[in-house]
Amino acid sequence: MEEILLEAESRSETGRGKVKDLRDSGFIPGVVYAEGKESLALKISHSALLHLVHQHRLEGVVINLKIKDDKKAKSRPCLIKEIQYHPVHGDIVHVDFNEISLTKAIKVNIPVEAKGEPAGVKQEGGALEHILWEIEVECLPTNIPKNIEVDVSALKIGDSIHVKDLVVPSGVKITNDPSSIVLSVAAPMKEEVPAEAVEGEEKQEPEVIKEKKEVPGEGEEPEAKEKEKEKDKEKEKK
């Protein structure tokens, strides 16, 4: 287990105003919790904590918290419970620690890292799908693995790696469902090509309905001719 040391000091500053002054002076307020013990308010150097965040993946990493004015001679092994960030600026504003026992098993999330290039990607144009990025394990704090590496170079299209296929160090137990898929290789996406008209077929255009005009039927005479005939009949009567 990699030893990570972080120095801290107990603090008496509480309340929004005093905590703001604490941050302005280059410290981050924090609290360490321990089972069966009272919580302890701390202040930590902002630069030291920021360096720790940038250098390590803190979830699942045991931090030896050394409190300067602590009566205990030894540092306290802790896990980071939560880091709170400013909603606008993104700065760290608070951190919580959980003190743990090095002889008691705990559950932590460990990242899964794929190694190699799958044959189904390199030769067949498929895509590697990473379904589970983290795996929950149960072990002693001294046995927490940094990550779980998976060789995916032999995977072809349609192949998958399940939780039950993962190899972990002795003393480490995976708590996820053994049948869950961790990694798989999917077939390449096919582009849909619009269907073209078959050669020889004409494109159908929408039917245009035109206004029907009345046309005199066969044997019928126009209205003007009918009027002339009526005038002729009137003359003959006279």
Amino acid at position 136, single letter: E
The answer to whether 35 and 21 are in contact (CB under 8 A) is: no
Using CA atoms, how far residue 75 sits from 8, 43, 67, 229, in Å, is 10, 16, 7, 128
Gap between the Cα atoms of 47 and 28, Å rounded: 9
Gap between the Cα atoms of 182 and 158, Å rounded: 13
CA 168 to chain centroid, in Å, comes to 25
pLDDT at 60: 75
Q: What parts of the chain have a pLDDT lower than 50?
A: 215, 217-220
| Long-range contacts from 157-163, C-beta under 8 angstroms, 24+ separation | 157/120, 157/124, 157/126, 157/185, 157/186, 157/187, 158/120, 158/184, 158/185, 158/187, 159/118, 159/120, 159/184, 159/185, 160/184, 160/185, 163/132, 163/135
Gap between the Cα atoms of 109 and 144, Å rounded: 9
Gap between the Cα atoms of 74 and 65, Å rounded: 9
pLDDT at 113: 95
From first CA to last CA, the distance across the chain in angstroms is 135
Amino acid at position 47, single letter: S
| Pairing, β 106-115 against β 134-139 | antiparallel
The DSSP bridge partners found for residue 236 are: none
Using CA atoms, how far residue 165 sits from 18, 139, 189, 228, in Å, is 53, 19, 27, 106
The answer to whether 9 and 68 are in contact (CB under 8 A) is: yes
CA-closest candidate to residue 181, choices 136, 116, 129? 129
pLDDT at 165: 96
Query: Where does residue 149 rank: exposed (0-12), middle (13-18), buried (19+ CB within 10 A)?
Result: middle
